[in-house]
Structure 1
Amino acid sequence: MSEPLAITPSSDVAFTAAVKAAQQARGSRQAYARVEARGGFRTELTPDFVQFLGGIDTAFLATANAAGQPYVQHRGGPKGFIRVLDAHTLGMADFSGNRQYITVGNASENPKAFLFLMDYTHRRRIKVWGELSVVEGDADLVARLMPEDYGAIPERALLFKVSAWDINCPQHIPQKIDAPLVAAALQEREARIAALEMEVARLRGLVGTADAAGM
């Protein structure tokens, strides 16, 4: 009778033998072994992931060339610029930039990629492992991925096939508030101050009228 096949936890995409040895040496292996016993990281894009993705405008996309030389590129756009295409696939339009094409070149020889998604306002981050493919010449797909009323020029589509994802704790994440949110809060405060000043002036007027009448 053959031995049952061992199920590889999805977290092995990050927890290689070398990483597990480092965890063992530094006392965290037992905790992450429990994660592995539950199957590892999540692999399907859940509703809470979709909600998180719809609220962020900042991401970092990491690739590496065939020799293993890494490269990290900032990706930004309107909130929700990264789209969920199905339970395992993300997509985004590749906007025209400085035309170095390092990410495009890396993906052509090494599809392994990593997305680091940041929400500074709420101090949340999600790590996503997968494979990146570059889609050229598909105008319908690019139109589907292009954010509405956004002035950037799309050149192609990028598809990210998700292998696993995990949520980091908020430790050490600085809280940064988006400028439009700050501007809206300041505008609301100024309007409130103006209303209070008008009310103070009205009440002072009533008091002055009463004093003049000898009341």
Structure 2
Amino acid sequence: MRRGHTLTADDIGLVRQTDTFLIGTTHPARGNDASHRDGPPGFVRVENGELWWPDYWGNNMFNTLGNLQADPTAALLFCDCATGHTLHLSGRAALQWTQTGIPGDDADTGRRVHFIPEQFVAGRLLPLQADTVTAAPDNPPLT
């Protein structure tokens, strides 16, 4: 297991190849929330050590986005089910409004989440391996 503050090339590779991750947020009055985000591999972008991903259409509950508005601290968990490698990031996230249809606005929502990692824990922590997992067929294409 490794701990640190700066992502390595392997960490960035894991993030860029993922098609799903978990995000944990909190609200000062309502408590914690954990949910997943998914898309085609590459939907999470890494630029200058920071991450962002488009906000796709979902259940219209907006718990995560509302929590981030009240408290920007967040935790992300990326897992490679084929190898068992995991990457847990903690840091700060914020909703960004964009023009719809710009490159990276894969689902035409005009929203994305920007995440600044502050620390990480990485390693081969999953006790299972599943190399037959396939992506959901309804993911929007990357733009």
Superposed pair shares fold, TM > 0.5? yes
Contact kept in structure 1, 2:85 and 2:126, CA below 8 Å = no
Map of 2:119 onto structure 1: 164
Residues 169, 122 of structure 1: alpha-carbon distance in 2 compared, 3 angstrom cutoff: closer
SS at match of 1:143: coil
Aligned partner letter, 2:23: L
Unaligned runs of 5+ in 2: 136-143
Distance 2:11 2:109 in 1: 25
Contact kept in structure 2, 1:91 and 1:145, CA below 8 Å = no
Distance 1:59 1:44 in 2: 19
Distance 1:53 1:102 in 2: 23
Q: Which has the higher contact order (CA 8 A, sep 6+)?
A: 2
Tell me the CA shift for residue 176 of structure 1: 4.4
Asked if residue 135 in structure 1 is aligned to residue 96 in structure 2, the reply is yes
- Structure 2 length as normaliser, TM-score? 0.82
- Structure 1 length as normaliser, TM-score? 0.57
Tell me the CA shift for residue 45 of structure 1: 2.4
Tell me the CA shift for residue 68 of structure 1: 6.2
1:118-197 → structure 2 map (5 Å cutoff): 118-136=79-97, 138-139=98-99, 143-147=102-106, 152-179=107-134
* RMSD of equivalent CA atoms: 2.3
Aligned partner letter, 2:91: G
Unaligned runs of 5+ in 1: 1-34, 181-215
Residues 139, 46 of structure 1: alpha-carbon distance in 2 compared, 3 angstrom cutoff: farther
1:65-144 → structure 2 map (5 Å cutoff): 65-67=27-29, 69-87=31-49, 89-136=50-97, 138-139=98-99, 143-144=102-103
Tell me the CA shift for residue 178 of structure 1: 2.2
Aligned partner letter, 1:122: T
Contact kept in structure 2, 1:58 and 1:119, CA below 8 Å = no
Structure number with greater Rg is 1
Distance 1:168 1:129 in 2: 15
Map of 1:64 onto structure 2: 26
Count of matched residue pairs = 135
Q: Structure 1 residue runs of 4+, over 4 Å off?
A: none
